[in-house]
Structure 1
Amino acid sequence: MSTPATSHVDPLFVPIFGESIELLRKVLLTKDAQPFVVAGSGTLGWDMMVNLIERDDEVLVVNTGYFGDHFGECLEVYGAKVTHLRAPIGSRPSLEDLEQVLTGKKYKMVTVTHVDTSTGVLADIKGVAKVVKSISPETIVVVDGVCSVGSEEIRFDEWNIDVVITASQKALGVPPGLGIVVTSQHAMQIFKSRKTPVASYYSNWNKWLPIMNAYEARKPAYFATPAVQLIYALHTSLKQITAQSMDSRFEQHHQVSQKFKNAITELGLKQLAVSDEVAANGMTAIWLPDGVQVSDIVPSLAAKGVQIAGGLHKECAAKYFRIGHMGISVTEPQRGHIDKVIESLATTLKELKSKA
């Protein structure tokens, strides 16, 4: 990020962007999917689904919280007919329920939030893709992986996923500002054979595909100015991530998650996730203990150098808080991040209890 002001067609930058595109395939374990790296937030990835849907297309949202709600809202803006398959807070729809819904109606697209940051619930994207493809092979399986890419197991090709949407700011370890979408060749064919024009300008893959292809071929190109410094940072992070096997990275996040969740239990706290099976490895959502408010716990931890977030789900936002444990906090244990968070949380709870 300290790279001086640099042109996006600088001969030193072009190969950085090109290799970043290639490294994304390694992170997602895909041979030929098409990455798009565009200045914007993860929400831009939702918006880019306008390339795959047309008005009145049926879309099923496998919904585990706030981000499922809003992904569906985004698709409705572009004329999709959206059906939500929901579960109680802290849980996820069963594969049996998914199968039943899919046999009742034909869907162009099925979306699933891999980790809904509002609840800390981990979706079974392998199972979802398997059920969808067994019933309707042509249906597009879209994974919102903003809070999962780099911390949760994703096997793009092996699991027959069509789209993964993510962003730079979570387990990829880069400041916010890059929207990243990785798309299967099956989905690209659906895009190329659509019957109506794409109802967007900035999100339009007809604009961006030539840019991605050019940079990967180590040639400069222009549609809209890329976030040069962020792409330098992304390149550095992706090189670090792929320096080890993705299997090793997945296991590190699982082990640290178990350590953190065990510590939460020992402190007498409970997760929103109803079981470890449906709990994310990169974050934990935690019910507040009796008598403690979000407005008490957040500033107390901030004073100890620990940043956490309050709740987000509209039905219970004031009743819980969220803590992330991903990226270098996991893969570089010498930093002591996880231990510091656990110790600070224990101290804060004791302090708040003594004041009650």
Structure 2
Amino acid sequence: MVRMSARWAHCLKTYSGQGKCNLLSFSSFFFIFSRCHGNKLSKVAHMHVPLRRLQLPLLPLRTLAKGGRMPLHNLNNPSSARVSLISRHLRQPEPQTTSTPQQQRLHSTMSTQPPHPTLLIPGPIEFDDAVLQSMSHYSESHVGPGFVNTFGEALSMLRQLFQTTDSSSQPFVISGSGTLGWDLVAANLVEAGEDVLVLATGYFSNGFTDCFKTYGANVTELRAPVGSRPQLPEIEKALSEKKYKVLTVTHVDTSTAVLSELKDLAAVVKKVSPETLIIVDGVCSVGVEEIKFDEWKLDGVITASQKAIGVPAGLSISMFSGKAMQSFQNRKTPPASYFASFKNWTPVMQNYEAKKPSYFATPSPQLIHALHTGLTQILAKPLSERFARHKEVSDKVKKAVADLGLKQVAAKPEDQAHGMTAVYLPESVKATDILPSLAKKGIVFAGGIHKEIAPKYIRFGHMGVSVTDPNRKDIDNAIKALQDSLFEVGYQKP
């Protein structure tokens, strides 16, 4: 109790700014709470049901007990992935699949995965069987030798993915979404009152701005018209007029599919304002677009597991340079977050990478195993081949869009991402018509989210296993479905 009370006190100090907290009050709170609710909690905690009464299928359990893996068709019931074994015992009605047999035949059937609509939104994406199998790993200690070794190897593989060999670079893998990466940057690398330059290319760039403001930073935005990006001359001008602690760029803004160029941008920043930290939001680009962390002298790249890395959502993944980590060490004030604090996480990450157990907050062992599998697959071939394949498929998708007489939100080829395509709909077609039509064909696209053009476009994600697995026909099926659906809702090519 005392340990947990102390952690509560530490956390509140982080946010209160008062520098003091009554530890006794927290101990008293926990004591009173447990006395008032202990009986109820005890009853809930001790509601045991004998295993023999659950009538669970024994074969899968025996398989797992012997160290094997349960087949995916047992882990993902085709009629409903949400039905648990226990709910069957309790005789709750099982939800039926919403797909007709004809629609199921149109859905993706991938190895041992049950038939399901092909998910081609810009994240989460389709997952490889081996990655999903890794999620079924048996429960284990997050400080046990097996998990520590897996986590350490995953952190080392991230260095290869980001293309950094500098020992001062620091990878982080923390439970959370890609948005947690914004907090890592704003809470640790910027202090209240410091200046930040945000290159705004869409919805997610705007979100980064809001995050910085939450932590008290002074934010200047360089906004480009929808579908384009700020140009180097105006960026150079802004940097020469004011000293910025941090410059952020969204490599691919998921709302617009606008791709920002990094190499020349980084060179301009280093020339005009070498002390400015270059931070890249790579949530929708890592694993698709080339990022040479060391060569381009980047200071931070944040991303997430559920996009091109090809792992279920739940991991915030990032890499920071030695310069960025030194900037954190030079702070005049403590980091403005408790959970997202470099102070708390850096020793944990360093220990895990050194194959030593460590603890600040409990990670997800199953997600880390899946990450290890996903990274192993990605790094099995040269990264250059992976990037080339994504470009090849991207060109195919964009040609199909042009052949239909449609335009992209990102108008210029050099501004177009290779892992997704944002497509303007014809004036006669609504997203509320085309998306359901695609769904009937077993294809899931995303609607628009940029507030200025949201009803006017849809988003087609093409990254990860749907692109790299030669046995999958996801992209071809999606292009055909888009063509058919447009004509079904009355569109006629000009």
Aligned counterpart, 1:324: 461
Which of 144, 150, 158 is the equivalent residue of 1:24?
158
What is the alpha-carbon distance in structure 2 between the residues aligned to residue 223 and residue 152 of structure 1? 32
8 Å CA contact 2:426, 2:491 repeated in 1: no
Matched, 1:117 2:251: no
Spell out the pairing of 1:210-225 with structure 2 (5 A cutoff). 210-225=347-362
Which of 330, 334, 339 is the equivalent residue of 1:197?
334
Secondary structure of the corresponding residue to residue 38 of structure 1: strand
Matched, 1:64 2:198: no
Aligned counterpart, 2:444: 307
Deviation at 1:130, TM superposition (A): 1.0
Secondary structure of the corresponding residue to residue 471 of structure 2: helix
Which of 120, 129, 136 is the equivalent residue of 1:2?
136
Query: 1:302-342: per-residue Cα shift (whole Å, max 9, x none)?
Result: 12111110001011101101010001111113201110110
Spell out the pairing of 1:281-300 with structure 2 (5 A cutoff). 281-300=418-437
Matched, 1:139 2:273: no
Unaligned segments of structure 2, at least 5 residues: 1-134
Which of 175, 180, 192 is the equivalent residue of 1:44?
180
What is the alpha-carbon distance in structure 1 between the residues aligned to residue 490 and residue 147 of structure 2? 54
Deviation at 1:354, TM superposition (A): 7.0
Deviation at 1:290, TM superposition (A): 2.0
Secondary structure of the corresponding residue to residue 83 of structure 1: strand
Deviation at 1:275, TM superposition (A): 1.2
Question: TM-score, length-normalised on structure 2?
Answer: 0.71
Deviation at 1:62, TM superposition (A): 0.6
Deviation at 1:190, TM superposition (A): 0.4
How many matched pairs? 355
Aligned counterpart, 1:77: 214
Aligned counterpart, 1:170: 307
What is the alpha-carbon distance in structure 2 between the residues aligned to residue 305 and residue 2 of structure 1? 26
What is the alpha-carbon distance in structure 2 between the residues aligned to residue 206 and residue 35 of structure 1? 14
Matched, 1:268 2:402: no
Aligned counterpart, 1:159: 296
Query: 1:109-147: per-residue Cα shift (whole Å, max 9, x none)?
Result: 000000000000000111221111111111100000000
Q: Please identify, of 288-297 and 115-124, the stretch whose mean Cα deviation from structure 2 is larger.
A: 288-297
What is the alpha-carbon distance in structure 2 between the residues aligned to residue 15 and residue 5 of structure 1? 15
Runs of 4 or more off by more than 3 Å in structure 1?
Answer: none
RMSD in angstroms over aligned alpha carbons?
1.0
Aligned counterpart, 1:337: 474
| Rg comparison, structure with higher value | 2
Spell out the pairing of 1:210-249 with structure 2 (5 A cutoff). 210-249=347-386
Deviation at 1:5, TM superposition (A): 2.0
Secondary structure of the corresponding residue to residue 323 of structure 1: strand
What is the alpha-carbon distance in structure 2 between the residues aligned to residue 16 and residue 243 of structure 1? 17
What is the alpha-carbon distance in structure 2 between the residues aligned to residue 48 and residue 160 of structure 1? 19
Deviation at 1:208, TM superposition (A): 0.4
Query: 1:37-91: per-residue Cα shift (whole Å, max 9, x none)?
Result: 0000000000011111001110000110001111011011111100000110010
Q: Please identify, of 128-137 and 232-241, the stretch whose mean Cα deviation from structure 2 is larger.
A: 128-137
What is the alpha-carbon distance in structure 2 between the residues aligned to residue 248 and residue 126 of structure 1? 20
Which of 310, 316, 319 is the equivalent residue of 1:179?
316
Structure 1 counterpart of 2:374, one-letter code: S
Matched, 1:35 2:167: no
What is the alpha-carbon distance in structure 1 between the residues aligned to residue 213 and residue 337 of structure 2? 14
Matched, 1:99 2:198: no
What is the alpha-carbon distance in structure 2 between the residues aligned to residue 343 and residue 10 of structure 1? 49
Structure 2 counterpart of 1:154, one-letter code: I
Deviation at 1:6, TM superposition (A): 2.1
Query: 1:81-105: per-residue Cα shift (whole Å, max 9, x none)?
Result: 0000011001011001101111111
Percent of matched pairs sharing the same residue: 57
Unaligned segments of structure 1, at least 5 residues: none
What is the alpha-carbon distance in structure 2 between the residues aligned to residue 56 and residue 31 of structure 1? 34
Deviation at 1:179, TM superposition (A): 0.4
What is the alpha-carbon distance in structure 2 between the residues aligned to residue 309 and residue 297 of structure 1? 11
8 Å CA contact 2:254, 2:284 repeated in 1: yes
What is the alpha-carbon distance in structure 2 between the residues aligned to residue 103 and residue 178 of structure 1? 37
Secondary structure of the corresponding residue to residue 334 of structure 1: coil
Structure 2 counterpart of 1:6, one-letter code: E
What is the alpha-carbon distance in structure 2 between the residues aligned to residue 159 and residue 206 of structure 1? 26
What is the alpha-carbon distance in structure 1 between the residues aligned to residue 434 and residue 144 of structure 2? 47
